[in-house]
Structure 1
Amino acid sequence: MADIAFLLLIFFLVTTTIETDAGLDRMLPPIEPPEEDVVIKQKNIFTVNINKNGQLLVEEELTELQDLREKAMAFLDNGGDGTCNYCKGAGDEASSDNPGKAIISLKNDRETRYGTYITVQNELVGAYNELRNREAQRLYGRDFTDMEAEYLNPETDEDVREELKEKVLRVQELFPQKLSEAETTSN
């Protein structure tokens, strides 16, 4: 009887699949601080604050959640210093210089609801993805999100993955995702 119980136990352990949560895909800062001080102009920082009531303060202006993606895209795609030949933004010199220098800073209250926090994160990442999709369509005739999903799929053929890697990295260089999270406040 004990042998059968152990065989059943082994069978269920081997055949059971355990789903894991994907979580948020974020790159952590390096362990060592940079050798030289990095100077970031205030105009290259897009500030988003979430209070405990779920209200958004974007660039010191009360903003609705549905307008966040559009404002973030306008900031990232501005091309204020004229070095970005693929930017289609307003070219406002008071806003970000180019996508390589643009940083989105997110700060939230300690009592901010998790759902609100994730929704804001999704909108900001969605802004990056829309701009990357636009450039991938222009360069390669397909969406960046599709290329990235195919590249990250372990079942994709190695030759295809190698070709996609180059394309994905090129589009990511055009609009690097620089999403900074400031320390939470308890106000």
Structure 2
Amino acid sequence: MARRENSEINAGSMADIAFLLLIFFLVTTTMDVDSGISRKLPEKSQDQNQQDVIVKEKNVFDIVVNRNNQILVENDQYVTVNEIKKLAMDFIDNGGGLSTAKDDAPAAPCDYCKGARSPLSSDHPSKAVISLQSDRGTTYGMYISIQNEIEAAYTELRNRLGLEKYKRSYDDLLKDYKDNPSESLNEKIEFLKNSYPQIISEPEPIK
């Protein structure tokens, strides 16, 4: 009886198949990107005799988030994340007093603010401080969501002023500057940023 030979598997193209599968998975797989907040930290002061700045209570907008992700505003009102932007805009844009005097120039009221000009709220956008304090048990997602709403409040105010003054929104000016940087565009962007400076205080988390 003739001896039966073992059949062999042709593995010549296995390397090519493995390579194609590797390319397929690389192309179709999505990579997780860590989310974060862009913040420029203040530089350490070189002036040893510099005194602490005294901030009026009405110029500080308090936001506190507890470990259950509940948001307390001004120590007396629980709100949702979606309400933060409007409340922040009303506070920043109130314009109830005078600006911060610079270079020995006299302080002046905000002539571009559209707020209620309440004497009980912030004097000027240059003085308005938003204080965000979280609990150590606050989720990262909630913290980021609140930061995004605060950022959106500043952006919308700058957009509005940009449209009034330059017929271009702040966002559009940033895109224009990215595509074609120029001194004139930079001056417009800096004017809008200085008109509504982003002043955010983040106290130590609640234990």
TM-score, length-scaled by structure 1: 0.81
Q: Which amino acid aligns with 1:24?
A: I
Determine whether 1:51 maps to 2:77: no
Structure 2 spans left out of the alignment, 5+ residues: 1-31, 99-108
1:180 deviates by 1.2
1:37 deviates by 2.4
CA distance in 2, matches of 1:137, 1:166: 15
Contact preservation (8 Å) 2:86, 2:153: yes
CA distance in 1, matches of 2:64, 2:46: 26
Structure 1 residues 68 and 33: CA distance shift in structure 2, 3 A:
farther
Determine whether 1:179 maps to 2:200: yes
1:117 deviates by 0.6
Determine whether 1:124 maps to 2:150: yes
1:5 match = none
CA distance in 1, matches of 2:195, 2:82: 25
Q: Deviations over 1:96-154 (max 9, x none)?
A: 00000000000001111111111000000100001000000001111102212332x3x
Determine whether 1:92 maps to 2:118: yes
2:45 match = 32
What's the Cα RMSD here?
Answer: 2.0
Give runs of aligned pairs for residues 1-187 of structure 1, distance below 5 A: 23-32=36-45, 35-60=50-75, 61-81=77-97, 83-151=109-177, 153=178, 156-157=179-180, 160-186=181-207
Q: Deviations over 1:135-174 (max 9, x none)?
A: 00001111102212332x3xx33xx432211000000111
Structure 1 spans left out of the alignment, 5+ residues: 1-18
Aligned residues: 164
Percent identity over the alignment is 42
TM-score, length-scaled by structure 2: 0.74
